[in-house]
Structure 1
Amino acid sequence: MDKAIKEYVNRFGIPRIIIVAFLLSLLVMAIMLEIPINDLLSDALVRTGMNGILVLAMVPGILAGIGLNFGIPIGIVCGLIGGLLAIEFDLYGFTALFTAVAISIPLSLVAGYFYGLLLNRVKGSEMTIATYVGFSIVSLMSIGWLILPFTSEDMRWPIGTGLRTTITLQGRYERILNEWGAFELFNVKIPTGLLLFMLFFCFLVWAFLRSRTGTAMIAAGDSPKFATASGINVNRMRVVGTMLSTALSAVGIVIYSQSFGFIQLYQAPMFMSFAAVAAILIGGATIKKANIANVIIGAFLFQSLLVISLPVANKVLEDVSSLAEIARIVISNGIILYALTQIGGGE
């Protein structure tokens, strides 16, 4: 019996057990503080769906051998351009949403190709270079948002030049997936369309990983020397993984924006990769191994921790607003820091 428990613990992972225990303790505290649990769970499901594809973007990069892709802001920028063009074309509803996705995918594939070539030239330092590249593209596009020739009055500053920092999607495709097919179960609102869209992309990645190209990509990431001996072009497979990761992050930000209700430009995408990395690590992935289950579990655990911990902290420290805000920052960044410390575990 003890051996079986030990094997289960090892398989599930000590870090994940700690995270789950912490989450359960927060749920107990929320009940004691009379915070509506159904609202918290509803919000957790929404945040899981809106962040899920961004977390999924980590899988191809990890399996291709480039490690945790801190460079997903490259894809995020492509997705933002797709969302802005949908507004520029004055589109609404699902037409606007799918147009944004359709535009962002080819843009991100091209960007991902050149990004993959760069990563092939810095083998062994991919995560460091990816972080610099991600920060650089966000900073560069802070200039781009000021000079790109968008003309829609819904996006431009009323005085001066350039695009607004935050652009509302109200009346266009705000929360369109969240509301599609939504229903309540035990007073918990299930965002059916949002979750199905995330699961659909999870299925696409799952199917790709079982294709001939996907299998070759995994082999190249797992053992480059063996893959080369088997006739697999390792550099090409690394580029394929990078392109797929970049494309998923582009789609992910479109879905994130529609669920959030706003498109955020300039410095907003700067640190989005850290939350995605933290989520997949909490889900049980390492810098060499990842699967779809890691994505779903990690996205749910990470977002549930944020959703539940912040109201609890606010309730406990409601008489000291400044401390409540500090507690929210400490909790959210503490979760990311804890996840990052698990990078070496399980390699």
Structure 2
Amino acid sequence: MEKVKRILINYSVPIAFLVLSISAVVIAKIPWTFLAAEVVRRLSRNTFLVLSLIIPIVAGMGLNFGIVLGAMAGQAAMFFVVDRKISGVPGILLSMIFATGIAIVLGWLAGLVLNKARGREMITSMILGFFANGVYQLIFLFFAGSLIPFSTKAMLLTGGVGLRNTVDLWGTLAGALNSVWVIRIGMIRIFVVPLLIVAALCVFITLLFKTKLGQDIRAVGQDIHVAEVAGINVNKVRIIAVIMSTVLAAIGQIIYLQDIGTINTYNSHEQVALFSIATLLVGGASTMKASIWNAIIGVLLFHTLFVVAPSAGNKLFGQPQVGEFFREFLAYAVIAFALAMHGWKLRQMRKA
């Protein structure tokens, strides 16, 4: 009985979401082919971003709300590639290279700040995201077209300064990875290349934690003081973990946006951390422990509910918007629950 109770406590969020998802599917009465097609597409589109959260969690830094910095780096790189009219897979690869360079710098700066805020990394990374967003808005609203030259005038506002609210990727980067290899099973389209990239990242993360660096990251996450006594340069390891997370988030945002087909210049990056973190937590992760399977299960459960919530809201209340509000509420509620459980477990550990 005690074992069952412990399982229910540890996996309460995935179990609750599984029940909610099944209930919503039954209520919405959505065709399974449509649901499968949507979930498979979201699996290839969103999983990379969710996986970018794992390394900082293992390093003991909690949920990295700072992946929004990586998302900004990815978008910035795509703006310049689109401006130079480099399309297709070469454009995506060039975007990833540019984004990696920007993300390394941003991740290093974020790592330095987070090292000064040990024990408060989550709230600090969230504030860093807000600050970086302000700088991002300043650059692309006031410097683009003036200090930063853009040859494609259609990307700029009427006055020639500042990027437009949306940047269209059709004809350049939209679907560049998706269209390389598509498997069709009835109505279901499986975009193989993004899924292969996700699989490659899973292999990379698995192999990383078998290396000396990976073992150091685990040691730092388990106990900073013991790691320091063992001769590990804790600050350096934590900075490397943040840099890796930021770079992966930048690449993940590029994969996400090429699937969407447009960039909402000033908003596309804002909800990246919120929904990626909520997705990981739905998969059974916590602020102290996360795995690849948590990310994959989280994407399946969270996005199944995302797909069916508007239809379920419409069936129950006659308003699809109710489902939209419900999705937003769930994202925040899951994060709040995870943080509450984190605080409760810490208190239990101190009592023991």
- TM exceeds 0.5? yes
Match for 1:275: what amino acid?
Answer: F
Which stretch shifts more, 307-316 or 293-302?
307-316
1:54 aligned residue:
49
1:67 aligns to 2:57 (yes or no): no
**Stretches of structure 1 lacking an aligned partner (at least 5 in a row):** none
2:84 aligned residue:
89
- Superposed structure 1 runs of 4+ greater than 6 Å apart: none
1:137 aligns to 2:128 (yes or no): no
How many angstroms apart in 1 are the aligned matches of 2:43 and 2:329? Answer: 18
RMSD, matched Cα: 2.1
**SS at 2:288 equivalent:** coil
Match for 2:246: what amino acid?
Answer: T
**1:47-79 deviation per Cα after TM superposition (whole angstroms, max 9, x unaligned):** 222111111111111111211011111111111
Report how far residue 315 of structure 1 moved: 4.4
How many angstroms apart in 1 are the aligned matches of 2:54 and 2:193? Answer: 23
**SS at 1:189 equivalent:** strand
**1:115-153 deviation per Cα after TM superposition (whole angstroms, max 9, x unaligned):** 101000011111111111101111221111021322223
**1:209-244 deviation per Cα after TM superposition (whole angstroms, max 9, x unaligned):** 221111111111111122112111111111111101
Report how far residue 172 of structure 1 moved: 1.1
Match for 1:38: what amino acid?
Answer: T
Report how far residue 299 of structure 1 moved: 1.7
1:345 to 331, 341, 344: 341
Q: 1:312 to 1:182 in 2, by over 3 A?
A: farther
2:348 aligned residue:
none
1:110 aligned residue:
105
Alpha carbons 2:82, 2:173 under 8 Å: kept = no
Q: Where in structure 2 are the equivalents of 1:168-207 lying within 5 Å?
A: 168-185=168-185, 187-207=187-207
Q: 1:28 to 1:186 in 2, by over 3 A?
A: farther
Alpha carbons 1:16, 1:284 under 8 Å: kept = yes
1:19 aligned residue:
17
**SS at 2:85 equivalent:** coil
**1:9-67 deviation per Cα after TM superposition (whole angstroms, max 9, x unaligned):** 45971221111111111222233xxx322112211121222111111111111111211
**1:228-285 deviation per Cα after TM superposition (whole angstroms, max 9, x unaligned):** 1211111111111110111111111111110111122223322321111101111111
How many angstroms apart in 2 are the aligned matches of 1:187 and 1:326? Answer: 28
Q: 1:86 to 1:315 in 2, by over 3 A?
A: farther
1:39 aligned residue:
34
Match for 2:117: what amino acid?
Answer: V
2:329 aligned residue:
333
Q: 1:188 to 1:30 in 2, by over 3 A?
A: farther
Match for 1:28: what amino acid?
Answer: V
1:167 aligned residue:
167
Report how far residue 84 of structure 1 moved: 1.1
How many angstroms apart in 1 are the aligned matches of 2:2 and 2:180? Answer: 47
Report how far residue 188 of structure 1 moved: 2.5
How many angstroms apart in 2 are the aligned matches of 1:189 and 1:8? Answer: 40
Match for 2:130: what amino acid?
Answer: F
Q: 1:333 to 1:154 in 2, by over 3 A?
A: farther
Q: 1:332 to 1:185 in 2, by over 3 A?
A: farther
Percent identical among aligned pairs is 27
Match for 1:225: what amino acid?
Answer: H
**Stretches of structure 2 lacking an aligned partner (at least 5 in a row):** 346-352
How many angstroms apart in 2 are the aligned matches of 1:190 and 1:204? Answer: 23
**SS at 2:177 equivalent:** helix
Give the structure-1-normalised TM-score.
Answer: 0.91
2:296 aligned residue:
296
1:241 aligns to 2:237 (yes or no): no
